[in-house]
Amino acid sequence: MRGLGLVDAPRTRTRRRALVDVAALARLIGELNRIGGNINQILKRVNFGETPVAHEFHEALAGHLEIIAAIRDAMGLGGK
């Protein structure tokens, strides 16, 4: 007699999540919000007919991408 078949049941592994520095993430999110505000101001200027200089767009986007990368690193996601 083999019993209830519990021995043959597939086992699942628990995944451990990386510890996250909550304070660091809060700072990064604050920085991301600041960059978002900058992008919003640039777009308001565009809506009023101004043509912001291209480097303003590049700086805002570069800052945004940098913060996103830092958040992913803090969460243990790396370059995925």
**What pTM does this model have?**
0.55
List pLDDT tens digits, range 34-73. Answer: 888 888 888 888 888 888 777 888 888 888 888 888 888 8
Q: At 46, phi and psi to the nearest 5? A: -60, -45
**pLDDT > 70: what percent of the chain?**
76
Q: What's the rounded Cα separation, in Å, for the pair 65 and 38?
A: 14
Closest to 63 (Cα-Cα) out of 41, 40, 31 = 31
Q: Which amino acid is at 21?
A: D
Q: How do the domains of the chain map onto residue ranges? A: 22-74
DSSP state of 61: H
Number of other CB atoms surrounding residue 59 within 10 Å: 14
